[in-house]
Chain A
Amino acid sequence: MPTRALPLFGTRRSLRVLERNALVYRSQWLMLLSGFFEPLFYLLSIGIGLNHLVGAISVHGRLVNYATFVAPGMLATSAMNGAMIDSIFNTFFKLKISHTYDALLATPLEVEDVALGEVWWALVRAAIYAASFIVCMVLLGDAGSPWVVLCWPGAILTSFAFSCLGLAACTYIRSWQDFDLVTLVQLPLFLFSATFFPITLYPKWLGAIVSVSPLYQSATLLRGLALGQFDWIMVGRSAYLVILAFVGLHVASRRFRKILTP
């Protein structure tokens, strides 16, 4: 069948889900646009206050100011948070509260298409958001090098991984209260992924644990890209994120099928 573009993970029809979401959210474009200000505020605040409290930090021998050090980590974090909110919170709502998908499945769409469609949607938003974040970095002088443009695909990859994982996690959520559990996962990831200070500050054993964190991998990858410091480990880091994404998507499709077509 020609529509079977990605046989394991849904078909081209998944783009219909993307269209639907785009239509529904069309009225909220202003909100999407205002998302630009959030990174601006964060970077501005760090630039004003912490830059001179913390001073310069050495990244692979290059001294950069604190905002330049933190910005890629914040970009990774916001990619994670955005993806998780979209794929856990909003999807939970559609899956279990408003039963939006039941209506979609009364059409030729398959369950896998729905799951994949949600991922497309998360990626579109992530792409817009990451672009505005990077613009903020450049505007505030936190960019590090012209290679910062490569952070764009890097951030989208991060969103891809986290939205697939989030989509899988979402299917296990029973009620609103379980969102507290999501926070319990998100928070340590956010605070302990070497986003705010170099991993070398951790004791060795903790550093080993931290390096498993997808957010750490993403933050380090983005920092390398932003500063134009390329190495082969980056390929490993990207591969790690891609693998997580596909595992998440696979689990999500199966769980969606179980929930929507019991």
Chain B
Amino acid sequence: MTPTTHATQRQPRWLRSWWYHAAFYAQTWRGSVASSILFPILYLASLGVGVGHLVTAHTGLVEGQTYLHFIAPSLLATTTMQLGEGESLWPVLASVKWIRTYHAAAATPLEPDDILFGKLAWVATRAFVTSIIYTIIVGCFGALTSWWSLTLPLIGVLITLAFSAPLVAYAAAAQSDASFTTLYRFAFVPMFLFSATFYPVSAYPGYLRPVVQFFPLYHGVALVRAAAYGRGSLAIQLAHVAVLVGLAVTGVLWGRRTMRRRLTD
């Protein structure tokens, strides 16, 4: 049998892993696309318009916006966070433990790093597409008033990676999914609720406000609002970006270790 020496490396190895994830998704995408279009519309129609009606009647504007326009951008932040969470815990544990498809991939020329980068690149791709859809829908509800809104898809990717990278790293080292539910209950749900997503941070008593800064999502929400309305100082936005980038980078470094350990033990 002739050796396969054609290996001219047309495609970098991590891209093959990205391609694999994409091809897998291509088989299973239908439901998730439907919900990623319907969800923001229904959500904004219900909470934004419905509850917004009550808020307008009682309070008027929130931070200078109608309630609908106030919560619409933050939806992008919470959704990209949830995308990062959902793509990273169970699917990764399944691939390294239950179905072991990452082990199968590691038996090909791919290295653990390639598998990790391919995965994260794929999650980022999904975040990008989802963010574009959300940006358009949020825009249709009239909540985008600045050209900075064009950066929303990139911010969405950043938020997703800030969650996905550390969680992939964590899941690659996990022995069971027992801790995942606890993570949801005690980290993700509170973060979702208390990151000034549904009401301005001024609703908190003064001593609590700095605490909110510890929620990574808070930085995402703040960044997304700033881009939507083109408001706030650039320096502060860069600080938000730095926090999210820091999380993503830490996650990648950690993931390179856990993935290697898991796949080459």
The reply to whether A49 and B203 contact each other, CB–CB distance below 8 Å, is: yes
Give the docked Cα–Cα distance between A150 and B203 (Å). Answer: 32
Cα distance A57–B189 when bound, in Å?
26
- Given A49-B198, A180-B34, A197-B51, check contact A55 B42 (CB 8 Å): no
**Size of the chain A interface, CB-CB below 8 angstroms:** 33
Scan residues 200-250 of chain A and give those whose CB is less than 8 A from a CB of chain B: 201
29 contacts between A and B (CB under 8 A): A31-B178, A37-B186, A38-B189, A41-B190, A45-B194, A48-B204, A49-B198, A49-B199, A50-B198, A52-B59, A53-B59, A53-B62, A53-B67, A53-B199, A177-B28, A177-B30, A178-B31, A180-B34, A180-B35, A183-B31, A187-B35, A187-B42, A191-B43, A192-B42, A196-B47, A196-B50, A196-B51, A197-B50, A197-B54
Is A5 interfacial (CB-CB < 8 Å)?
Answer: no
Q: What sequence of 0s and 1s flags, for each residue 173-188 of chain A, a beta carbon within 8 Å of any chain B beta carbon?
A: 0000111110110011
Tell whether, in the assembled complex, residue B50 and residue A188 are in contact, meaning their CB atoms are under 8 Å apart. no
Q: What are the residues of chain A within 8 A of B67 when measuring CB–CB?
A: 53
Chain A 23-74 residues near chain B, CB threshold 8 A: 28, 31, 34-35, 37-38, 41-42, 44-45, 48-50, 52-55, 57, 66
Residues of B within 8 A of A (CB): 28, 30-32, 34-35, 38-39, 42-43, 45-47, 50-51, 53-55, 57-59, 62, 67, 178, 181-182, 185-186, 189-190, 193-194, 198-199, 203-204
Contact A31 B181 (CB under 8 A): yes
C-alpha gap A47/B67 in the complex (Å): 17
Chain A residues within CB distance 8 Å of chain B: 28, 31, 34-35, 37-38, 41-42, 44-45, 48-50, 52-55, 57, 66, 177-181, 183-184, 187-188, 191-192, 196-197, 201
Docked-complex contact A180 and B181, CB < 8 angstroms: no
Q: How far, in angstroms, from A184 to B53 measured CA to CA in the complex?
A: 25
The CB with the most chain A CB atoms within 10 A, among B30, B55, B193, is that of B193
Query: Are B38 and A184 neighbours in the complex by a CB distance under 8 Å?
Result: yes
Q: Which residue of B lies closest to A28 (CB)?
A: B178
CB-nearest residue of chain B to A182 = B31
Measured between beta carbons, the chain A residues less than 8 angstroms from B57 are 55
From A35, A52, A177, A196, give the contact of B31 (CB < 8 A).
A177
Q: Which residues of B sit under 8 angstroms from A180, Cβ to Cβ?
A: 30-32, 34-35
Are the C-beta atoms of B42 and A197 separated by less than 8 Å?
A: no
Question: Are A52 and B51 touching (Cβ within 8 A)?
Answer: no
Contact between B198 and A37, CB atoms less than 8 A apart:
no
When C-beta atoms are compared, the residue in chain B nearest to A179 turns out to be B31
Given contacts A52-B203, A55-B54, A55-B59, contact A191 B42 (CB under 8 A): yes
- The answer to whether B46 touches A54, judged by C-beta atoms less than 8 angstroms apart, is no
Closest CB-CB distance, B224 to chain A, in whole Å? Answer: 18
What are the residues of chain A within 8 A of B62 when measuring CB–CB?
53
Q: Residue of A at shortest CB range from B208?
A: A48
Q: Which residues of B contact A184 (CB under 8 A)?
A: 31, 34-35, 38
What CA separation (Å) do A44 and B198 show in the bound complex?
A: 13
**In the complex the two chains form, what is the Cα distance from A49 to B198 in whole Å?**
7
Contacts of A66 in B (CB 8 A): 54
The 8 Å CB contact of A191, one of B47, B182, B186, B203, is B47
